[in-house]
Amino acid sequence: MTKLEAVIQNSKLESVKNALQEIGVEGMTVSEVRGHGRQKGHTEVYRGREYSVDLIPKTKLEVVLADGMVEKAVQAIVAAARTGKIGDGKIFLSRIDEAIRIRNDERGEGAL
Amino acid sequence: MTAASPLISELRSFLADESALVAKKFAANGDGREALAQRTLLVEEILKRLWVEYISPQQLESGGLALVATGGFGRGWLFPYSDIDLLFLHPDRESEAKNKDAIRRFSQELWDLKLKLSPATRTLAECDHFDPNNTEFTISLLDCRFLLGSRDLFFRLHGKVIPRMVAREAKALLEGLAEVTHARHTKFGQTVFHLEPNLKESPGGLRDSNVACWMATISAMSKLGDWPQVSSLRAPVRKKLDAAIEFLMAARCFLHLRQGHDDNSLSWEAQDEAAVRKIGALDLPDLSAADWMRIYFGHARAVQRTVLQLVEEIPESWSSLRRQFQGWKSKTANTDFSVVDGLIFLQQSSSLQDPELLLRLFHFMAVHGLKLSTTTEYRIEQALPAMAVAPPRGTELWLYLQETLLQPHAAEALRAMHALRLLTLLLPELKPIDSLVIRDFYHRFTVDEHSFLAIESLHKLNQSKSEWDQRYAELLSELEDPELLYLALLLHDTGKGAPGGNHVTSSLEIANRCLDRLDVDPQERAGVLFLIENHLEMSAQLRRDIFNPETVAAFAEKIGTPERLKMLCLFTYADIKAVNPEALTPWKAENVWQLYIGAANYLNRSADHRVHSNDGDEKLARLRSLAPVTGARFKEFVEGFPRRYLQVHSAEEVMRHLEMAQALTPGSVQIDLKRGRHWYELTLVTQDRPSLFATLTGVLAAWGMNIVKANAFSNQAGVVVDSLHFTDRFRTLELNLSEWQRFKDNIAAVIAGKADLDKMLRDRQRAEKNMRVKVVVETRVDFDDQCSSTSTLLQVIAQDRPRLLHRISSCLSRERCNIEIALIDTEGQMAIDTFYLTAQGKKLSSEHQKKVSQALLDDLKILESANPS
């Protein structure tokens, strides 16, 4: 099993969600996060005062997948979230040892 | 098998059969009170049988034990799955020890019958003791009722112990009760308007109706030293409370039977079913779930009002002398109202037949955050039918309403007006959203409460310590007409009560009717309607990439002016915050703010996009339709004005400017002077000439006027339209009507070079003492060459001082800069002036910019030393 974490632009959440649903990924965890990569922040000046926007609001999406689904999910996210500009986000993949459904103690991919 | 088993089997089937009968009868007649009484009788019958079996033989030996019903069972209100509160009352410890086993068996059998028993075992002496940590037990004794056993023992409890104990402990009891009630209300956000309320525990639920009765009983017992013979609540209050209790009884009985256990949560599915079965409302025609909930909220509101008033009235009633003294001393009291213990009373002579007094009352409430006393509410209710014949409307109503909306406790005043049905009497447009439930898994409160909460959240900004709230608070303090924002919040969701899919369209229609009723002037009306029409726009933009300049530009173009952008930003903040307590996360607040800043900066940096009379612009089309006769002249007039000109001026104003431009003769000026609510507005139309703006601001400074806002625009033909908002610091124009003409003539004379401006300014300087400043603002001069293709943008931020604008504009003129556009603004003690400059028709070179910057800094330093902070 693999955990996929994608940090994307807020405006792309709906299309990424739809793209994942289309390939059969139903469950996911979405959180509101702030951060920056190479996009860095910038400073906005408003009426003589400076507001630094060093951490830009982003959306993080987490989903644990059966290994066979990982590549499809990555492709779906890339296709839906890409604008080609800096700040499109990143996808991180990591191994998961076990998944357990709390309700019935079901384990492994069946618990996903 | 024990000997009791046949009895238990018999009782079990008896309980099942009788319970089914109760449910069947309730299904047929919907009478909650009757179902509760039958259930009470049924349980009593079972208790009797078990008593004879287990307790009686023992009791004969022990010489006295009484079985007492307390709490809901004591009142005879046993809901199908409620706890059965029982007190085993002993004369002494000896009896308690002797009967322990028998009581255990008796209780065990009840549990085996699946009846939820809440037993308490006490001696008479223990009942006389009040434990502040267990207020609930003492309170449950207020509903005690004899069931079985020693009648004599019960009478000692009921006739002597309880009255004596309550009289002694009344204050502590009431305070304890107020405390637990407050804690419970806090858990439910202090509002009755939940989309899925709890019929027992929510504010305005059955628990509150009991609290009202207990408080009245304790209060009466503390005075009488005995049980009151009749209800201690005043008749009109009692009547409303009784009606509410009848309804709540039926509804909770329905819920218990539907759920099959003690579940008091009124889910959406249960609401649907209750509406179809017309629970508690059998005599009404067919009801939708929303209609049925409206009836529920009406009752819940009545219950909550009664409780809150009793909670506040009774604890302070101990010394009538103190109350009078407080009223006498109260600083907030005036000739119409007195204030006692935070409650507003009407002075005896005040007559509520006068609608103005009523409006003043709620304004008073909104200012001071006080509550109405029960007697005041009663008097208002009595006065409403007469007022309903010809309710106040028009400008008079709008004036009172806006003053109320602006006060820190406006939401509380609106809620009180709403609860008394006054708000919907004055603004019937709000009727469709009265207690309206919208099921969207997002909003937690009814539509009316959501609107009040939105208004409240803006008023609370000032007290907040959160970084985000403070930014929004600052924005709110900068608004020119905050009352329009509050009115828009009050009306923005009225369309949710109308049929049809798009609530924004319906809200606009309804708001239009309401604005007619209030006779709101066209410009203000346009502001309110704009906010309602676009109230979802910012949220919609948050679903786009708000860091993309194109997204920001399109959004800013749609909004048009900085003032509208501010209002919409605050509107969005308040609207999201009022959805539910968690809806506005810091993440979302930041997104709204970033979009706001981006759009605000865009609007200031795109002010010189020019109008072309052939543009397919919506506003231009409207203007063309207003000026069909003067078509060609109109085209010539608007050609080349910055787009910002059309955004900040209404169509009517543009037409007026056109008329003024038509009347211009060579060398003349056209001046229009108006008095607004907050400031005067001077409009000047003339042919462009050197130093015009500097001269104009100089004349105003020489007259002692404080310029708070200004816009200076010119068209391709060199016609200048300058508009300046100023305050009259010395009330010259206000107190001397004759000065209006002299003021206008003087402006014309100075511009024509017929009067000496320098002399006027020197005279003014001598006459004025130095102004002390509270907040020191550092001078800052910034140039931007990027945001305009034809001009250089200059932003000057400085301490607001008399003659500041004249000084800046004169300096610019001296440095050979032509002011294409001036956007002048003041925020508290900070002046923020933006100029679009050219020199010989081009942008300023970097050397020129440096020179201008230095000249400005030097000049402002001189001004600073003349008016030191």
| Residue B213 neighbours by CB under 8 Å, 6+ apart | B231, B233, B241
B704 has a pLDDT exceeding 80 = yes
pLDDT at B331: 55
Q: What is the pLDDT of residue B223?
A: 84
The pLDDT, as a whole number, for residue B3 is 47
At residue B752, φ and ψ (nearest 5 deg) are -80, 0
- Select from B585, B601, B782 the Cβ nearest to the Cβ of A46: B601
CA distance A4 to chain B (A): 23
Maximum mean pLDDT: which of B427-436, B510-519, B817-826: B510-519
Contact B544 A11 (CB under 8 A): yes
Inform me whether the C-beta atom of residue B827 falls under 8 Å from chain A C-beta atoms.
yes
Query: In this predicted model, what pLDDT tens digit does every residue of B720-741 receive, in sequence order?
Result: 999 998 988 888 898 888 899 9
Sort out which chain B residues have CB atoms less than 8 A from A32's CB and list them. Answer: 585, 587-588
Q: Which residues of B touch A45 (CB under 8 A)?
A: 601
Is the pLDDT reported for residue B321 higher than 50?
no
Helix B692-702, helix B804-814: angle, nearest 10: 150
Select from B468, B475, B543, B545 the residue whose CB has the most chain A CBs within 10 Å, as the one to mutate to test that interface. Answer: B545
In this prediction, residue B531 has a pLDDT band, given cuts at 50, 70 and 90, of very high
The ipTM of this complex is 0.70
Given A34, A48, A51, which is nearest B780 (Cβ)?
A48
Q: Supply the mean pLDDT for chain B.
A: 86
pLDDT class for B323, splitting at 50, 70, 90?
A: very low
Dihedral (CA of B447, B449, B453, B459) sign? positive
Average pLDDT over residues B822-827: 80
H-state helical runs in B151-288: 151-155, 162-187, 206-224, 235-259, 268-277
Instruction: Check if B553 contacts A (Cβ < 8 Å).
Output: no
pLDDT for B59 equals 57
Q: Tell me which of B2-11, B113-122, B163-172, B805-814 is least confident.
A: B2-11
Q: Is residue A17 scored above 90 in pLDDT?
A: yes
Please answer whether residues A51 and B597 qualify as being in contact, where contact means their C-beta atoms are separated by less than 8 angstroms.
yes
Give the CA distances from residue B576 to residues B282, B580, B586, in Å, rounded to whole numbers and listed in that order. 38, 8, 12
The verdict on pTM exceeding 0.95 is no
**Is B591–A57 a contact, with Cβ atoms under 8 angstroms apart?**
yes
pLDDT over 90 at B575, yes or no: yes
Judge contact between B436 and B406, C-beta under 8 A: no
**Which of B543, B588, B600 is facing A46, going by the closest CB pair?**
B600
Q: Is the pLDDT of residue B322 over 50?
A: no
| pLDDT above 90 coverage of chain B, percent | 38
At B325 the pLDDT is 40
User: Could you say which DSSP state residue B346 is in?
Assistant: E
Q: How many residues does chain B have?
A: 869
Over residues B337-352, mean pLDDT: 75
Q: How far apart are CA B309 and CA B178, in angstroms?
A: 11
Taking CB atoms and an 8 Å cutoff, what residues of chain A touch B600? 46-47
- What are B643-666's pLDDT values in tens digits? 778 877 878 888 899 999 989 888
**Model confidence at B843: pLDDT above 50:** yes
- Taking an 8 Å cut-off on Cβ atoms, the answer to whether B542 and A48 are in contact is no
CA distances from B731 to B362, B663, B829 (A): 31, 31, 20
Q: Which residues of A touch B587 (CB under 8 A)?
A: 32-34, 57
Helix (H, G, I), strand (E, B) or coil at B667: coil
A–B CB contacts, 8 A cutoff, strictly below: 45
Would you call A83 and B542 a contact, using CB atoms and an 8 Å cutoff?
A: no
pLDDT of residue B489 exceeding 80: yes
**What average pLDDT score do residues B535-550 get?**
86
Nearest to B547 among A32, A34, A56 (CB): A56
Q: For the segment B21-69, what is each residue's pLDDT rounded down to a tens digit?
A: 999 999 999 899 999 999 999 999 999 999 988 887 665 555 588 999 9
How many other CB atoms sit within 10 Å of the CB of residue B151?
11
pLDDT of residue B60: 55
Check A10 against B545: CB less than 8 A apart: yes
pLDDT confidence bin for A40, thresholds 50/70/90: low
Q: Supply the pLDDT for residue B320.
A: 40
pLDDT at B140: 92
Closest residue on chain A to B834 (Cα): A47
Question: Two tokens at A22?
Answer: 């289309």
Q: Collect all residues of chain B within an 8 Å Cβ-Cβ radius of residue A17.
A: none
- For residues A75 and A65, is the Cβ–Cβ distance under 8 A? no
Give me B678's structure tokens: 């907050």
- What's the Cα-to-Cα distance from B500 to each of A82, B506, B512, B527, B786, rounded to whole Å? 38, 8, 17, 25, 47
Distance from CA of B591 to the nearest CA of A (A): 7
Confidence category of residue B512, pLDDT binned at 50, 70, 90: very high
| A88, closest residue in chain B (CA to CA) | B545
Whether the CB-CB separation of B508 and B533 falls below 8 Å is answered with yes
**Chain B contact set for A14 (CB, 8 A):** 543
Point out the least confidently predicted range of B80-84, B249-253, B440-444, B780-784: B440-444
Q: Of residues B265 and A45, which shows the higher confidence score?
A: B265
Confidence class for position B2, pLDDT limits 50, 70, 90: very low
Residue B330 pLDDT > 60: no
The DSSP line for B687-701 is E--TTHHHHHHHHHH
Count of C-beta atoms within a 10 Å radius of residue B590 = 19
- Res B114: pLDDT: 86
pLDDT digits (tens, 9 = 90+) for B274-310: 999 999 988 888 888 888 998 999 899 888 888 877 7
Residue B453's pLDDT is 94
Tell me the C-alpha distance between B113 and B15, whole Å: 8
Q: Label residue A27 exposed, middle or buried (CB < 10 Å: 0-12, 13-18, 19+).
A: exposed
Going by C-beta distance under 8 Å and a sequence separation of 6 or more, which residues neighbour residue B796?
B779, B780, B781, B808, B831, B832, B833, B834, B835, B856, B860
Contacts of A33 in chain B (CB under 8 A): 587
Nearest-CB residue to B832 (from A47, A57, A87): A47
- Whether residue B624 is predicted with pLDDT greater than 80 in this model: the reply is no
Per-residue pLDDT at A48 exceeds 90:
no
**CB within 8 Å: B587 and A32:** yes
Say yes or no: B582 contacts chain A, CB-CB below 8 A.
no
